[in-house]
Homo-oligomer: A and B are copies of this chain.
Amino acid sequence: MKAVGVVVEYNPFHHGHAYHIENARKATGADVVIAAMSGNFLQRGEPAIVSKWTRTEMALKGGIDLVFELPYSYAVQKADTFAAGAVSLLGAAGCQFICFGSESGNIEDFYHTYHFLEKHHEPYNYEIKRFINKGYSYPKALSLAFKALEPAENVVDLSLPNNILGFQYVKAAEKSGYPVKMVTIARKSANYHDQHFSSASIASATSIRNALFSNNADITKIQSYVPVHTYEGLMQYHHNFGAFHNWNMYWPYLKLNLLQLSPYELRVIYEVEEGIENRLLSLAIKCETFPQFMEELKTKRYTWTRLQRTLTHILTHTVKNEMSALNDKVPYLRLLGMTETGRKYLNQLKKDCPIPLISKRSSFTHQQIVTDTRSARIYAMGLPEQYRQKAIELEFKQQPIYIEDDHNEQKNKAI
């Protein structure tokens, strides 16, 4: 069986994702589509609107065959670490292909860009440093440094978000040693950051989330913009757990932590660097809301997402020490869900999977999965009080989601 991998967050799953899965299958002729999916906290340093289990169910009903959890240690990271984790996960899962969406849509151009930058390694790094010293954020410095090198034709525009991620996937794949072929598909219509619905059929995840939070969670409003299984999943989650997750519900906890800790103690947290601990502490005392806190915290030096990731690490109490052993290969494959086809593939994979394959949380331990479990429980604490305990217990109680291929019979559902 041939497998193609995709790197996803599905926050939530939308028509654009379905389109991507369909095309990944077509473009590669794969029998199985495998997703490396972030858990409850995402690359932008935000809680996912619904749990990894509900998003797994959406994924399986939307065309994915196997969902593995990208560990927190890679999921809540800047693009290069995120990409290295995801690509190594899909490599370990035996994918012959990895297919990503990009603004460019031309895989040759990604390789040209990669080789161009490998060749101009030193001047590139020099320019990056120069722009960082000028006070630019890291991603902005990357983009400016790239332009400053006056790259040749046939390179991708590294100021566009999906091209940047794609470039990191290609780079990670080249360095991973896994025999995986990269494929890219041009993204259709809605842009990553679109704030509002722009067409009736393809809405960005951002615009869907905005609609959910701007209308006192009137879920019905988004019904026509998302696949039916997404709509059902959102309805079900809201019914079972009383809310969708966003940063506002964690603000009291974050504020408590910032009132509790000394600058010295705060520096133990991953990514708390360069004196930002003092700004965090003094702003926490005076800011009343999370948006106000973020506005005051923001400087040119740090991207919004970098800051949110740092705050996520404070909330989940992820310390430098537990991240010190991190390398560019994920150490296990945690199964979140599978279709019937996915299960067949899994039986084949079991024979020669290079890393442990976990389908039962209690049967395995590792520093990174301890971090995953801690962050999943803290994620649950954001819910209204009466739903918290049930959600905390999911991490050990929820079986991997299993659905038959015709999607009619579903054995293990998301709780």
Is residue A381 contacting chain B, with contact meaning CB distance below 8 A? yes
Is residue A288 contacting chain B, with contact meaning CB distance below 8 A? yes
**A378 in contact with B252 given A288-B389, A389-B288 (CB within 8 Å):** no
Of A259, A317, A377, A381, most B-chain CB atoms within 10 Å: A259
Is residue A185 contacting chain B, with contact meaning CB distance below 8 A? no
Residues of A238-290 at the interface with B, using a CB-CB cut-off of 8 Å, are 252-253, 255-257, 259-261, 285, 288
Residues from chain B with Cβ under 8 Å of A389 in the complex:
288
Residues from chain B with Cβ under 8 Å of A388 in the complex:
252, 288
Is residue A392 contacting chain B, with contact meaning CB distance below 8 A? yes
Complex Cα distance, B250 from A256, in Å, reads: 11
Question: How many whole Å from A92's CB to the nearest CB in chain B?
Answer: 28
Name A255's contact: one of B257, B261, B317, B381 (CB within 8 Å). Answer: B381
Is residue A316 contacting chain B, with contact meaning CB distance below 8 A? yes
Residues from chain B with Cβ under 8 Å of A378 in the complex:
256, 259-260
**A381 in contact with B288 given A261-B317, A317-B261 (CB within 8 Å):** no
Complex Cα distance, B257 from A288, in Å, reads: 21
Complex Cα distance, B300 from A392, in Å, reads: 30
B392 and A260 form a contact (CB under 8 A): no
B253 and A256 form a contact (CB under 8 A): yes
Is residue A385 contacting chain B, with contact meaning CB distance below 8 A? yes
Residues from chain B with Cβ under 8 Å of A257 in the complex:
260
Question: How many whole Å from A263's CB to the nearest CB in chain B?
Answer: 12
Per-residue interface assignment for chain A, residues 365 to 393, with 1 indicating a CB less than 8 Å from any chain B CB and 0 otherwise? 00000000010011001000100110010
Question: How many whole Å from A142's CB to the nearest CB in chain B?
Answer: 33
B377 and A285 form a contact (CB under 8 A): yes
Question: How many whole Å from A282's CB to the nearest CB in chain B?
Answer: 12
Of A256, A317, A378, A392, most B-chain CB atoms within 10 Å: A256
Give the nearest-CB partner of A389 in chain B: B288
Complex Cα distance, B377 from A221, in Å, reads: 41
**A374 in contact with B260 given A253-B253, A381-B252, A381-B255 (CB within 8 Å):** yes
Give the nearest-CB partner of A370 in chain B: B262
Question: How many whole Å from A248's CB to the nearest CB in chain B?
Answer: 10
Give the nearest-CB partner of A316 in chain B: B260
Question: How many whole Å from A379's CB to the nearest CB in chain B?
Answer: 10
A256 and B381 form a contact (CB under 8 A): yes
Residues from chain B with Cβ under 8 Å of A285 in the complex:
377, 392
Per-residue interface assignment for chain A, residues 300 to 331, with 1 indicating a CB less than 8 Å from any chain B CB and 0 otherwise? 00000000000000001100000000000000
Give the nearest-CB partner of A381 in chain B: B256
Question: How many whole Å from A275's CB to the nearest CB in chain B?
Answer: 20
A385 and B252 form a contact (CB under 8 A): yes
**A317 in contact with B260 given A252-B385, A253-B253, A392-B285 (CB within 8 Å):** yes
Question: How many whole Å from A161's CB to the nearest CB in chain B?
Answer: 32
Complex Cα distance, B82 from A77, in Å, reads: 48
Complex Cα distance, B66 from A90, in Å, reads: 70
Complex Cα distance, B252 from A252, in Å, reads: 10
Complex Cα distance, B205 from A343, in Å, reads: 64
B259 and A256 form a contact (CB under 8 A): no
A-B contact pairs, 18 of them (CB 8 A): A252-B252, A252-B253, A252-B381, A252-B388, A253-B253, A253-B256, A255-B381, A256-B256, A257-B260, A259-B378, A259-B381, A259-B392, A260-B316, A260-B317, A260-B378, A261-B317, A285-B392, A288-B389
Give chain A's interface residues, CB within 8 Å of chain B: 252-253, 255-257, 259-261, 285, 288, 316-317, 374, 377-378, 381, 385, 388-389, 392
Known A256-B378, A259-B381; further 14 A-B contacts with Cβ < 8 A: A252-B252, A252-B385, A252-B388, A253-B253, A253-B256, A255-B381, A256-B381, A259-B374, A259-B378, A260-B316, A260-B374, A260-B378, A285-B392, A288-B389
Which 7 pairs between the two chains have the least Cβ-Cβ distance?
A: A260-B317, A288-B389, A259-B377, A253-B256, A256-B381, A259-B378, A259-B374
